[in-house]
Chains A and B, each alone.
Chain A
């Protein structure tokens, strides 16, 4: 039983932990539990998509023709690269290369911003055509009577995902500011690790959303 403060890698371990390692493992356990709730939240949308896709395959095929797969492919590549740079940020922290770790966080942040810029461009194009979700749908050249339902799925799934990207960007920016002050190193990089896990899950969700929305016709 320790009585004094434990300081590891410039970070003071919270008093209710026996060691820095225990604190690290506990943080990860908490974050993984949160990721499980995230998977279940998106899971509801994925299950809804699967059910309605099997009921109205023609409607989803028509909806997919309104999306540009080139934008989807670009965004997929950008998110994959951002996951890679996020991982590198942790790698460089583990090697005590603090500057490189901070640079990788900034690249990750910029990738997130490019992703959102492309998404914004896509959304604006849909709005111009009247391709709104649900009862707001005002596109007049739809062949399928239920095409509005496709765009309900499109905007709910990509919207909830985009919201996660924005939150992830905010967290990564916060990490970048801390990394510039050399707060992370081989002995303490818990915030990098847990935000990284969140960012990778957001990437995994997009890896499924991309073919489901853009490519399956």
Chain B
């Protein structure tokens, strides 16, 4: 391997991601009902998951180098998330599409 053939991410990018992750952590607590009483009904859950996804995306893209690496790794990551969604979809269809029928016999 030729020295320096790997992409070296500048230090300031890592620091920026760290600061962003900590800020998003403060934000997610600030919009949480148990912590601050912030209450927008079902949107609390949606908001918390959206913030978590942004944080997870930052970790995956920069800390795990997915942004710079071969797209094969990104494909593996996305495929695993896809199959998790498939698992959820079939479970949800099963649970929420059940029709309660009482036997008439």
Contact = CB atoms under 8 A, between A and B. Distances in A.
Interface string A53-86: 0010000000011000100010011001101101
A78 B22 CA distance: 10
Contact of A47 (B8, B14, B51, B88): B88
Q: Which of B33, B34, B56 counts the most chain A CB atoms within 10 A? A: B34
Q: How large is the interface on A (under 10, 10 to 19, 20 to 34, 35 or more residues)?
A: 35 or more
Interface string A34-65: 01110110011011001100010000000011
A161 interface: no
B25 A69 contact: no
A101 B36 CA distance: 40
Contact of A215 (B14, B33, B79, B81): B33
Interface size class of B (residues with CB under 8 A): 35 or more
B102 interface: no
Q: SS class of chain A's interface: helix, strand, loop or mixed?
A: helix
A21 interface: yes
Contacts, number: 137
B97 interface: no
A73 B24 CA distance: 11
B80 A39 contact: yes
A187 interface: yes
A169 B4 CA distance: 28
Interface string A78-97: 00110110111001001100
Interface in A186-217: 186-187, 196-197, 200-201, 203-204, 207-208, 210-212, 214-217
A187 B4 CA distance: 8
B21 A187 contact: no
A24 B5 CA distance: 12
Nearest to A186: B3
A182 to B, nearest CB: 16
A69 B35 contact: yes
Given A51-B95, A200-B63, A211 B51 contact: yes
A33 interface: yes
A22 B55 CA distance: 31
A200 B69 CA distance: 16
Nearest to A25: B70
B6 A84 contact: no
Contact of B87 (A19, A47, A77, A81): A47
Interface of B: 1, 3-6, 8-9, 11, 14, 17-18, 21-22, 25, 28-29, 32-35, 44-45, 48-49, 51-52, 55-56, 59-60, 63-64, 69-70, 72-73, 76-77, 79-81, 83-84, 87-88, 91-92, 95
